[in-house]
Protein backbone atom coordinates (compact mmCIF):
# COMPACT_ATOMS: atom_id res chain seq x y z
CA UNK A 1 0.00 0.00 0.00
CA UNK A 2 2.96 2.34 0.31
CA UNK A 3 3.71 4.48 3.31
CA UNK A 4 1.53 7.24 1.95
CA UNK A 5 -1.54 5.14 2.64
CA UNK A 6 -2.72 5.29 -0.97
CA UNK A 7 -6.13 3.86 -0.18
CA UNK A 8 -6.97 6.94 1.80
CA UNK A 9 -5.51 6.73 5.23
CA UNK A 10 -8.84 5.81 6.77
CA UNK A 11 -7.61 2.24 6.43
CA UNK A 12 -4.14 2.74 7.77
CA UNK A 13 -5.15 2.49 11.41
CA UNK A 14 -6.35 -1.07 10.91
CA UNK A 15 -4.07 -2.20 8.20
CA UNK A 16 -0.49 -1.10 8.23
CA UNK A 17 0.65 -3.26 11.11
CA UNK A 18 3.82 -4.48 9.45
CA UNK A 19 5.17 -1.00 8.75
CA UNK A 20 3.91 0.39 12.00
CA UNK A 21 5.44 -2.43 13.99
CA UNK A 22 8.81 -1.60 12.48
CA UNK A 23 8.43 2.14 12.92
CA UNK A 24 6.86 2.28 16.33
CA UNK A 25 7.81 -0.94 18.06
CA UNK A 26 4.16 -1.84 18.52
CA UNK A 27 5.18 -5.39 19.29
CA UNK A 28 5.79 -4.05 22.73
CA UNK A 29 2.56 -3.62 24.63
CA UNK A 30 0.97 -0.20 24.15
CA UNK A 31 2.49 2.14 26.66
CA UNK A 32 5.94 0.62 26.33
CA UNK A 33 9.04 1.52 24.38
CA UNK A 34 9.02 4.21 21.75
CA UNK A 35 5.33 4.91 22.15
CA UNK A 36 5.54 6.09 25.70
CA UNK A 37 8.11 8.65 24.66
CA UNK A 38 5.63 10.46 22.48
CA UNK A 39 3.29 10.89 25.40
CA UNK A 40 5.66 11.78 28.20
CA UNK A 41 4.28 14.94 29.68
CA UNK A 42 7.59 16.77 30.07
CA UNK A 43 8.06 20.41 29.16
CA UNK A 44 6.60 23.43 30.86
CA UNK A 45 3.89 23.91 28.30
CA UNK A 46 3.07 27.01 26.35
CA UNK A 47 0.95 30.03 27.16
CA UNK A 48 -2.72 29.47 26.38
CA UNK A 49 -4.43 32.00 24.15
CA UNK A 50 -6.91 34.13 26.10
CA UNK A 51 -10.48 33.11 25.33
CA UNK A 52 -12.30 35.29 22.83
CA UNK A 53 -15.84 36.60 23.01
CA UNK A 54 -18.57 33.99 22.72
CA UNK A 55 -21.10 34.98 20.07
CA UNK A 56 -23.60 33.19 17.82
CA UNK A 57 -20.95 33.17 15.08
CA UNK A 58 -18.17 32.25 17.50
CA UNK A 59 -19.79 29.71 19.86
CA UNK A 60 -16.46 28.26 21.04
CA UNK A 61 -15.16 31.71 22.03
CA UNK A 62 -12.12 31.57 19.76
CA UNK A 63 -9.59 34.36 20.27
CA UNK A 64 -9.80 35.98 16.83
CA UNK A 65 -6.17 37.16 16.88
CA UNK A 66 -4.61 33.93 18.23
CA UNK A 67 -2.38 31.89 15.96
CA UNK A 68 -3.67 28.46 14.85
CA UNK A 69 -1.19 25.62 14.32
CA UNK A 70 -2.63 22.69 12.32
CA UNK A 71 -0.62 19.55 11.34
CA UNK A 72 -2.18 17.13 8.86
CA UNK A 73 -1.20 13.59 7.86
CA UNK A 74 -0.28 13.76 4.19
CA UNK A 75 -1.69 10.43 2.99
CA UNK A 76 -4.10 9.02 0.45
CA UNK A 77 -6.58 11.83 1.04
CA UNK A 78 -3.99 14.47 0.20
CA UNK A 79 -4.07 17.90 1.83
CA UNK A 80 -6.24 19.98 -0.46
CA UNK A 81 -9.47 19.34 1.47
CA UNK A 82 -7.83 20.61 4.68
CA UNK A 83 -6.23 23.61 2.97
CA UNK A 84 -9.68 24.58 1.68
CA UNK A 85 -11.10 24.34 5.21
CA UNK A 86 -8.23 26.50 6.54
CA UNK A 87 -9.25 29.22 4.04
CA UNK A 88 -12.72 29.24 5.61
CA UNK A 89 -11.15 29.65 9.07
CA UNK A 90 -9.05 32.57 7.80
CA UNK A 91 -12.17 34.14 6.30
CA UNK A 92 -14.02 33.85 9.62
CA UNK A 93 -11.01 35.10 11.64
CA UNK A 94 -9.13 37.45 9.30
CA UNK A 95 -6.79 38.66 12.08
CA UNK A 96 -5.63 35.12 12.93
CA UNK A 97 -2.46 33.70 11.48
CA UNK A 98 -2.79 30.02 10.51
CA UNK A 99 0.27 27.80 10.27
CA UNK A 100 -0.73 24.73 8.26
CA UNK A 101 1.68 21.87 7.54
CA UNK A 102 1.34 18.32 6.21
CA UNK A 103 3.68 15.41 6.88
CA UNK A 104 3.76 11.62 6.66
CA UNK A 105 5.96 11.49 9.75
CA UNK A 106 3.43 12.40 12.45
CA UNK A 107 5.21 10.61 15.29
CA UNK A 108 8.76 11.82 14.66
CA UNK A 109 7.61 15.36 13.82
CA UNK A 110 5.32 15.77 16.83
CA UNK A 111 6.92 13.64 19.55
CA UNK A 112 9.48 16.34 20.47
CA UNK A 113 6.71 18.94 20.60
CA UNK A 114 4.61 16.82 22.98
CA UNK A 115 7.72 16.28 25.11
CA UNK A 116 8.41 20.03 25.24
CA UNK A 117 4.78 20.85 26.05
CA UNK A 118 4.17 22.88 22.88
CA UNK A 119 2.09 20.64 20.61
CA UNK A 120 0.01 22.03 17.70
CA UNK A 121 -3.65 23.02 18.16
CA UNK A 122 -5.05 20.40 15.78
CA UNK A 123 -3.52 17.14 14.52
CA UNK A 124 -4.66 14.57 11.99
CA UNK A 125 -3.02 11.63 13.79
CA UNK A 126 -2.91 9.05 11.03
CA UNK A 127 -0.65 6.98 8.82
CA UNK A 128 2.16 4.51 9.43
CA UNK A 129 3.67 6.87 12.04
CA UNK A 130 0.44 7.43 13.91
CA UNK A 131 0.90 8.11 17.62
CA UNK A 132 -0.74 5.44 19.79
CA UNK A 133 -4.18 6.74 20.81
CA UNK A 134 -4.45 4.49 23.87
CA UNK A 135 -1.20 5.96 25.22
CA UNK A 136 -2.20 9.58 24.46
CA UNK A 137 -5.57 9.08 26.17
CA UNK A 138 -4.08 7.15 29.10
CA UNK A 139 -1.49 9.89 29.75
CA UNK A 140 -4.10 12.68 29.51
CA UNK A 141 -2.37 14.26 26.51
CA UNK A 142 -5.60 15.07 24.64
CA UNK A 143 -8.30 17.68 25.15
CA UNK A 144 -11.89 16.55 25.67
CA UNK A 145 -13.82 17.48 22.50
CA UNK A 146 -17.21 17.68 24.26
CA UNK A 147 -17.32 21.53 23.86
CA UNK A 148 -17.08 21.06 20.09
CA UNK A 149 -19.74 18.33 20.04
CA UNK A 150 -22.11 20.45 22.13
CA UNK A 151 -21.52 23.62 20.05
CA UNK A 152 -24.10 24.61 17.42
CA UNK A 153 -23.31 23.10 14.01
CA UNK A 154 -21.78 25.38 11.39
CA UNK A 155 -24.80 25.31 9.07
CA UNK A 156 -27.73 25.02 11.46
CA UNK A 157 -27.42 26.68 14.89
CA UNK A 158 -30.51 24.78 16.10
CA UNK A 159 -28.54 21.51 15.85
CA UNK A 160 -25.52 20.58 17.95
CA UNK A 161 -22.45 19.30 16.10
CA UNK A 162 -22.95 15.86 17.70
CA UNK A 163 -26.44 15.61 16.18
CA UNK A 164 -25.08 16.03 12.65
CA UNK A 165 -22.60 13.12 12.79
CA UNK A 166 -22.86 9.62 11.33
CA UNK A 167 -23.49 6.56 13.56
CA UNK A 168 -20.54 5.55 15.73
CA UNK A 169 -18.42 8.71 15.28
CA UNK A 170 -18.93 9.97 18.84
CA UNK A 171 -18.49 6.49 20.35
CA UNK A 172 -15.26 5.90 18.43
CA UNK A 173 -13.74 8.93 20.10
CA UNK A 174 -14.40 7.47 23.54
CA UNK A 175 -11.98 5.16 25.31
CA UNK A 176 -13.31 5.20 28.86
CA UNK A 177 -16.82 6.44 29.27
CA UNK A 178 -17.91 9.98 28.52
CA UNK A 179 -15.04 12.18 27.37
CA UNK A 180 -14.61 12.22 23.57
CA UNK A 181 -10.90 12.48 22.77
CA UNK A 182 -10.90 11.89 19.01
CA UNK A 183 -12.98 12.99 16.08
CA UNK A 184 -12.67 10.69 13.07
CA UNK A 185 -13.26 12.77 9.97
CA UNK A 186 -13.58 10.09 7.27
CA UNK A 187 -16.27 7.42 7.30
CA UNK A 188 -15.57 3.89 6.10
CA UNK A 189 -18.12 1.30 5.02
CA UNK A 190 -16.82 -2.24 5.53
CA UNK A 191 -18.42 -5.23 3.87
CA UNK A 192 -18.33 -7.65 0.96
CA UNK A 193 -17.34 -5.91 -2.28
CA UNK A 194 -18.18 -7.30 -5.70
CA UNK A 195 -18.91 -6.52 -9.34
CA UNK A 196 -22.64 -6.24 -10.00
CA UNK A 197 -21.84 -7.06 -13.63
CA UNK A 198 -20.18 -10.34 -12.60
CA UNK A 199 -23.20 -11.31 -10.43
CA UNK A 200 -25.58 -10.42 -13.27
CA UNK A 201 -23.44 -12.59 -15.55
CA UNK A 202 -24.20 -15.55 -13.26
CA UNK A 203 -27.87 -14.51 -13.24
CA UNK A 204 -27.67 -14.22 -9.44
CA UNK A 205 -28.53 -11.68 -6.76
CA UNK A 206 -26.30 -11.00 -3.73
CA UNK A 207 -26.97 -13.94 -1.35
CA UNK A 208 -28.70 -13.15 1.95
CA UNK A 209 -28.40 -16.63 3.53
CA UNK A 210 -25.34 -18.88 3.73
CA UNK A 211 -27.00 -21.67 1.72
CA UNK A 212 -27.51 -19.14 -1.08
CA UNK A 213 -23.90 -17.95 -0.72
CA UNK A 214 -22.67 -21.52 -1.25
CA UNK A 215 -24.96 -21.90 -4.29
CA UNK A 216 -23.62 -18.69 -5.88
CA UNK A 217 -20.03 -19.82 -5.22
CA UNK A 218 -20.76 -23.26 -6.73
CA UNK A 219 -22.19 -21.60 -9.86
CA UNK A 220 -19.16 -19.30 -10.14
CA UNK A 221 -16.77 -22.26 -9.72
CA UNK A 222 -18.37 -24.01 -12.71
CA UNK A 223 -17.47 -20.94 -14.78
CA UNK A 224 -13.89 -20.97 -13.51
CA UNK A 225 -14.40 -18.08 -11.06
CA UNK A 226 -13.51 -18.38 -7.36
CA UNK A 227 -16.19 -17.35 -4.90
CA UNK A 228 -13.86 -15.41 -2.59
CA UNK A 229 -10.42 -13.96 -2.16
CA UNK A 230 -8.97 -11.79 0.64
CA UNK A 231 -5.69 -10.29 1.84
CA UNK A 232 -4.13 -13.58 2.90
CA UNK A 233 -0.99 -11.92 4.28
CA UNK A 234 -3.15 -9.53 6.33
CA UNK A 235 -6.09 -11.73 7.37
CA UNK A 236 -7.39 -9.03 9.70
CA UNK A 237 -9.35 -7.97 6.59
CA UNK A 238 -11.61 -11.01 7.14
CA UNK A 239 -13.34 -9.39 10.16
CA UNK A 240 -14.60 -6.57 7.90
CA UNK A 241 -17.38 -8.97 6.94
CA UNK A 242 -17.02 -11.62 9.67
CA UNK A 243 -17.59 -9.34 12.70
CA UNK A 244 -20.87 -7.87 11.42
CA UNK A 245 -21.96 -11.40 10.45
CA UNK A 246 -21.34 -12.51 14.06
CA UNK A 247 -23.46 -9.57 15.28
CA UNK A 248 -26.21 -10.42 12.77
CA UNK A 249 -26.31 -14.06 13.85
CA UNK A 250 -25.94 -13.59 17.63
CA UNK A 251 -26.78 -9.94 18.35
CA UNK A 252 -24.65 -6.90 19.19
CA UNK A 253 -23.90 -8.20 22.69
CA UNK A 254 -21.63 -10.89 21.25
CA UNK A 255 -19.34 -8.26 19.67
CA UNK A 256 -19.43 -6.16 22.86
CA UNK A 257 -18.31 -9.17 24.90
CA UNK A 258 -15.46 -9.76 22.44
CA UNK A 259 -14.42 -6.08 22.70
CA UNK A 260 -14.56 -6.31 26.50
CA UNK A 261 -12.23 -9.36 26.47
CA UNK A 262 -14.83 -11.29 28.48
CA UNK A 263 -14.01 -14.91 29.34
CA UNK A 264 -15.56 -17.30 26.77
CA UNK A 265 -16.77 -14.43 24.50
CA UNK A 266 -15.31 -16.23 21.46
CA UNK A 267 -17.02 -19.47 22.50
CA UNK A 268 -20.48 -18.02 21.81
CA UNK A 269 -22.45 -20.29 19.43
CA UNK A 270 -22.77 -17.40 16.92
CA UNK A 271 -18.97 -17.12 16.63
CA UNK A 272 -18.61 -20.86 16.09
CA UNK A 273 -21.42 -20.89 13.49
CA UNK A 274 -19.85 -18.03 11.52
CA UNK A 275 -16.38 -19.59 11.66
CA UNK A 276 -17.86 -22.86 10.37
CA UNK A 277 -19.60 -21.00 7.54
CA UNK A 278 -16.37 -19.33 6.41
CA UNK A 279 -14.43 -22.59 6.79
CA UNK A 280 -16.91 -24.18 4.37
CA UNK A 281 -15.69 -21.74 1.69
CA UNK A 282 -12.23 -23.24 2.13
CA UNK A 283 -13.43 -26.87 2.31
CA UNK A 284 -15.54 -26.60 -0.85
CA UNK A 285 -12.71 -24.97 -2.79
CA UNK A 286 -14.49 -21.63 -3.21
CA UNK A 287 -11.47 -19.50 -2.26
CA UNK A 288 -9.12 -18.34 -5.01
CA UNK A 289 -6.10 -20.65 -5.10
CA UNK A 290 -3.01 -19.02 -3.57
CA UNK A 291 -5.03 -16.48 -1.56
CA UNK A 292 -3.16 -17.10 1.74
CA UNK A 293 0.02 -15.80 0.06
CA UNK A 294 -1.53 -12.62 -1.38
CA UNK A 295 -1.29 -9.15 0.12
CA UNK A 296 -4.16 -6.63 -0.07
CA UNK A 297 -3.10 -5.17 -3.45
CA UNK A 298 -2.61 -8.60 -5.06
CA UNK A 299 -5.94 -9.93 -3.80
CA UNK A 300 -7.78 -6.77 -4.88
CA UNK A 301 -6.14 -6.96 -8.33
CA UNK A 302 -7.14 -10.61 -8.81
CA UNK A 303 -10.71 -9.73 -7.76
CA UNK A 304 -10.83 -6.66 -10.04
CA UNK A 305 -9.70 -8.87 -12.93
CA UNK A 306 -12.67 -11.17 -12.34
CA UNK A 307 -10.80 -14.11 -10.82
CA UNK A 308 -12.98 -14.02 -7.67
CA UNK A 309 -16.50 -12.72 -7.02
CA UNK A 310 -16.33 -11.46 -3.43
CA UNK A 311 -13.72 -9.70 -1.28
CA UNK A 312 -14.02 -8.38 2.31
CA UNK A 313 -12.75 -4.80 2.36
CA UNK A 314 -13.35 -1.17 3.30
CA UNK A 315 -14.59 1.66 1.10
CA UNK A 316 -11.03 2.81 0.40
CA UNK A 317 -10.85 -0.14 -2.03
CA UNK A 318 -12.38 2.01 -4.79
CA UNK A 319 -9.62 4.61 -4.63
CA UNK A 320 -6.86 2.09 -3.98
CA UNK A 321 -7.88 -0.18 -6.88
CA UNK A 322 -8.92 2.57 -9.30
CA UNK A 323 -6.13 1.65 -11.71
CA UNK A 324 -7.22 -2.00 -11.99
CA UNK A 325 -11.03 -1.86 -11.70
CA UNK A 326 -12.50 -1.98 -15.26
CA UNK A 327 -14.76 0.90 -16.31
CA UNK A 328 -17.79 -1.42 -16.63
CA UNK A 329 -17.13 -3.30 -13.35
CA UNK A 330 -20.20 -1.79 -11.64
CA UNK A 331 -18.61 -1.81 -8.15
CA UNK A 332 -21.00 -2.73 -5.34
CA UNK A 333 -20.84 -3.49 -1.62
CA UNK A 334 -23.18 -5.44 0.57
CA UNK A 335 -23.60 -6.17 4.22
CA UNK A 336 -22.44 -9.69 5.08
CA UNK A 337 -24.54 -12.70 4.22
CA UNK A 338 -26.20 -14.19 7.30
CA UNK A 339 -26.88 -17.80 8.22
CA UNK A 340 -30.66 -18.06 8.02
CA UNK A 341 -33.95 -16.61 9.26
CA UNK A 342 -33.07 -17.35 12.90
CA UNK A 343 -30.38 -14.60 12.90
CA UNK A 344 -30.91 -11.98 15.63
CA UNK A 345 -30.45 -8.93 13.35
CA UNK A 346 -31.87 -8.35 9.85
CA UNK A 347 -29.99 -8.64 6.57
CA UNK A 348 -28.25 -5.31 5.96
CA UNK A 349 -26.43 -5.26 9.33
CA UNK A 350 -23.07 -3.73 8.45
CA UNK A 351 -19.86 -2.41 9.98
CA UNK A 352 -19.28 1.26 9.30
CA UNK A 353 -17.15 3.60 11.35
CA UNK A 354 -14.84 6.56 11.41
CA UNK A 355 -11.27 6.82 10.21
CA UNK A 356 -8.75 9.66 9.91
CA UNK A 357 -8.59 10.64 13.58
CA UNK A 358 -8.26 14.32 14.49
CA UNK A 359 -7.19 15.38 17.99
CA UNK A 360 -6.66 18.60 19.92
CA UNK A 361 -3.75 18.24 22.39
CA UNK A 362 -4.43 19.07 26.04
CA UNK A 363 -1.46 21.48 26.05
CA UNK A 364 -2.41 23.23 22.80
CA UNK A 365 -1.99 27.02 22.94
CA UNK A 366 -5.25 27.57 21.07
CA UNK A 367 -7.53 24.56 21.67
CA UNK A 368 -10.66 26.62 20.88
CA UNK A 369 -9.18 27.39 17.45
CA UNK A 370 -8.41 23.71 16.86
CA UNK A 371 -11.99 22.77 17.70
CA UNK A 372 -13.39 25.60 15.57
CA UNK A 373 -11.35 24.39 12.58
CA UNK A 374 -12.96 20.97 13.07
CA UNK A 375 -16.43 22.59 13.35
CA UNK A 376 -15.79 24.25 9.96
CA UNK A 377 -14.65 20.92 8.48
CA UNK A 378 -17.94 19.38 9.64
CA UNK A 379 -19.95 21.89 7.59
CA UNK A 380 -21.90 20.82 4.50
CA UNK A 381 -19.54 22.74 2.21
CA UNK A 382 -16.32 21.27 3.64
CA UNK A 383 -17.75 17.75 3.75
CA UNK A 384 -18.97 17.97 0.15
CA UNK A 385 -15.53 19.21 -0.87
CA UNK A 386 -13.85 16.29 0.93
CA UNK A 387 -16.16 13.67 -0.60
CA UNK A 388 -15.87 14.98 -4.13
CA UNK A 389 -12.07 15.21 -3.91
CA UNK A 390 -11.18 11.93 -2.18
CA UNK A 391 -14.06 9.49 -2.88
CA UNK A 392 -14.83 9.01 0.81
CA UNK A 393 -17.78 9.92 2.98
CA UNK A 394 -17.06 12.29 5.85
CA UNK A 395 -18.26 12.07 9.44
CA UNK A 396 -21.05 14.53 8.65
CA UNK A 397 -24.35 12.73 8.12
CA UNK A 398 -24.89 14.43 4.77
CA UNK A 399 -22.47 16.45 2.69
CA UNK A 400 -23.22 14.55 -0.52
CA UNK A 401 -25.92 16.73 -2.10
CA UNK A 402 -25.06 17.87 -5.58
CA UNK A 403 -22.06 15.54 -5.93
CA UNK A 404 -21.94 12.90 -8.62
CA UNK A 405 -21.04 9.88 -6.51
CA UNK A 406 -18.61 7.25 -7.79
CA UNK A 407 -20.04 3.69 -8.02
CA UNK A 408 -18.40 2.57 -4.76
CA UNK A 409 -19.59 5.64 -2.85
CA UNK A 410 -23.10 5.24 -4.23
CA UNK A 411 -23.07 1.58 -3.18
CA UNK A 412 -21.76 2.52 0.28
CA UNK A 413 -24.50 5.11 0.79
CA UNK A 414 -27.13 2.57 -0.33
CA UNK A 415 -25.72 -0.04 2.09
CA UNK A 416 -25.87 2.48 4.97
CA UNK A 417 -29.47 3.37 4.04
CA UNK A 418 -30.40 -0.32 4.05
CA UNK A 419 -28.70 -0.86 7.41
CA UNK A 420 -30.58 1.97 9.11
CA UNK A 421 -29.86 1.53 12.83
CA UNK A 422 -28.18 -1.84 12.27
CA UNK A 423 -24.67 -0.42 12.02
CA UNK A 424 -22.08 -2.11 14.24
CA UNK A 425 -18.70 -0.75 15.27
CA UNK A 426 -16.34 -3.34 16.79
CA UNK A 427 -13.75 -1.63 18.99
CA UNK A 428 -11.18 -4.42 19.37
CA UNK A 429 -9.23 -3.16 16.29
CA UNK A 430 -8.79 0.27 17.98
CA UNK A 431 -8.43 -0.82 21.58
CA UNK A 432 -6.08 -3.78 21.04
CA UNK A 433 -4.15 -3.36 17.80
CA UNK A 434 -1.65 -6.17 18.31
CA UNK A 435 -4.27 -8.67 19.51
CA UNK A 436 -6.51 -7.94 16.51
CA UNK A 437 -3.87 -8.05 13.81
CA UNK A 438 -1.20 -10.51 14.87
CA UNK A 439 -3.20 -12.87 17.05
CA UNK A 440 -6.86 -12.95 15.93
CA UNK A 441 -5.99 -12.16 12.31
CA UNK A 442 -2.71 -13.83 11.44
CA UNK A 443 -2.57 -16.48 14.19
CA UNK A 444 -6.25 -17.42 14.16
CA UNK A 445 -8.42 -16.59 11.14
CA UNK A 446 -5.52 -16.70 8.67
CA UNK A 447 -4.64 -20.21 9.81
CA UNK A 448 -8.26 -21.37 9.67
CA UNK A 449 -8.92 -20.00 6.19
CA UNK A 450 -5.73 -21.65 4.92
CA UNK A 451 -7.07 -24.95 6.28
CA UNK A 452 -4.45 -25.31 9.00
CA UNK A 453 -6.88 -25.02 11.93
CA UNK A 454 -10.46 -26.26 12.28
CA UNK A 455 -13.15 -23.76 13.42
CA UNK A 456 -13.21 -25.39 16.88
CA UNK A 457 -9.42 -25.11 17.19
CA UNK A 458 -9.57 -21.50 15.98
CA UNK A 459 -12.18 -20.56 18.59
CA UNK A 460 -10.03 -22.11 21.31
CA UNK A 461 -6.84 -20.43 20.09
CA UNK A 462 -8.37 -16.96 19.74
CA UNK A 463 -10.06 -17.21 23.14
CA UNK A 464 -6.62 -18.00 24.57
CA UNK A 465 -5.14 -14.90 22.91
CA UNK A 466 -7.98 -12.75 24.31
CA UNK A 467 -7.53 -14.21 27.81
CA UNK A 468 -3.79 -13.42 27.69
CA UNK A 469 -4.53 -9.81 26.70
CA UNK A 470 -7.13 -9.51 29.48
CA UNK A 471 -4.56 -10.62 32.07
CA UNK A 472 -1.73 -8.44 30.72
CA UNK A 473 -1.33 -5.52 33.14
CA UNK A 474 0.99 -3.68 30.76
CA UNK A 475 -1.98 -3.15 28.41
CA UNK A 476 -4.56 -0.47 29.16
CA UNK A 477 -7.97 -2.16 29.11
CA UNK A 478 -11.14 -0.54 27.82
CA UNK A 479 -14.77 -1.56 28.13
CA UNK A 480 -18.17 -0.72 26.69
CA UNK A 481 -20.17 1.11 29.31
| 351-376 pLDDT tens trace | 999 989 999 999 999 999 999 999 99
Largest CA distance in the chain: 71
For 287, phi then psi, to 5°, come to -100, 135
What does the pLDDT read at residue 192?
Answer: 98
In a domain, 326, yes or no: yes
Q: pLDDT tens across 90-143, in order?
A: 999 999 999 999 998 999 999 899 989 999 999 999 876 888 887 788 889 999
Are residues 196 and 122 located together in one domain of the fold? no
What does the pLDDT read at residue 96?
Answer: 96
In a domain, 477, yes or no: no
Are residues 19 and 134 located together in one domain of the fold? yes
Are residues 322 and 369 located together in one domain of the fold? no
In a domain, 1, yes or no: no
Q: What is the mean pLDDT of residues 423-428?
A: 93
Taking CA atoms, 145 is separated from 151, 381, 457, in Å, by 10, 22, 43
Query: In which band, very low, low, confident or very high, does the pLDDT at 26 lie, cut at 50, 70 and 90?
Result: very low
Q: Which of 3-12, 290-299, 384-393, 419-428 has the lowest mean pLDDT?
A: 3-12
> Per the structure, how many domains does the chain have?
2
Q: pLDDT tens across 202-249, in order?
A: 999 999 999 999 999 999 999 999 999 999 999 999 999 999 999 999
What does the pLDDT read at residue 1?
Answer: 34
Are residues 113 and 153 located together in one domain of the fold? yes
Are residues 239 and 365 located together in one domain of the fold? no
Q: What is the mean pLDDT of residues 270-278?
A: 98
Query: For 217-248, b where at least 16 C-beta lie within 10 A, e where not — what string?
Result: beebeeeebbbbbbbbbbbbbbbbbbbbbbbb
In a domain, 392, yes or no: yes
In a domain, 479, yes or no: no
Are residues 145 and 108 located together in one domain of the fold? yes
The string of DSSP letters for 21-39 reads HHHH-TTSPTTSHHHHHHT
In a domain, 249, yes or no: yes
Whether the predicted pLDDT of 60 surpasses 50: yes
Picking from 326, 320, 301, 323, the residue whose alpha carbon sits closest to that of residue 311 is 301
Taking CA atoms, 427 is separated from 140, 174, 207, 303, 338, in Å, by 20, 10, 27, 28, 21
What does the pLDDT read at residue 263?
Answer: 97
Are residues 51 and 117 located together in one domain of the fold? yes
What does the pLDDT read at residue 407?
Answer: 94
What does the pLDDT read at residue 339?
Answer: 98
Q: pLDDT tens across 66-101, in order?
A: 999 999 998 778 899 999 999 999 999 999 999 999
Are residues 75 and 136 located together in one domain of the fold? yes
What does the pLDDT read at residue 475?
Answer: 84
What does the pLDDT read at residue 167?
Answer: 85
Are residues 268 and 336 located together in one domain of the fold? yes
What does the pLDDT read at residue 45?
Answer: 64
Are residues 154 and 89 located together in one domain of the fold? yes
User: Which H/E stretch holds residue 418?
Assistant: helix 407-419
pTM of the model: 0.80
Q: Domain of 392?
A: 9-188+354-404
Instruction: Outline where 192-333 has alpha helix (H).
Output: 196-201, 210-222, 239-250, 252-259, 269-283, 296-304, 317-320
Are residues 268 and 159 located together in one domain of the fold? no
Whether the predicted pLDDT of 400 surpasses 60: yes
In a domain, 419, yes or no: no
In a domain, 45, yes or no: yes
- Distance (Å, whole) CA 70 – CA 309: 43
Are residues 369 and 340 located together in one domain of the fold? no
CATH number for the domain including 83?
3.40.190.10
Picking from 102, 125, 104, the residue whose alpha carbon sits closest to that of residue 39 is 125
- Distance (Å, whole) CA 52 – CA 92: 13
The string of DSSP letters for 124-160 reads E--STTPPPHHHHHHTT-B---HHHHHSBPSS-TTSB
- Distance (Å, whole) CA 414 – CA 316: 16
Amino acid sequence: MGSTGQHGSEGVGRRDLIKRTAVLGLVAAPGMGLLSACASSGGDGQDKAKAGKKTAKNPLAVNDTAKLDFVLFDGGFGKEYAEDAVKLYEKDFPKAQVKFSATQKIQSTLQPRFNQGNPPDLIDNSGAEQMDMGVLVGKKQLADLTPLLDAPSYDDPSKKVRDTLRPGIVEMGQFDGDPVWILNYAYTVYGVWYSQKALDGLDEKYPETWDDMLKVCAKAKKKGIAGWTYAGKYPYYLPFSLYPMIAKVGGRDVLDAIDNLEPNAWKHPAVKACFEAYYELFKKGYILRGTPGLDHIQSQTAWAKGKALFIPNGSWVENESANVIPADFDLAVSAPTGLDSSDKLPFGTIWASGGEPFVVPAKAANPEGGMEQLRIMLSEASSRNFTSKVKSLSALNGGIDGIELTPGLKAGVAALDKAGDNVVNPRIPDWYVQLEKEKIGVGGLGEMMAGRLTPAETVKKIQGFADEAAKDDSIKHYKHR
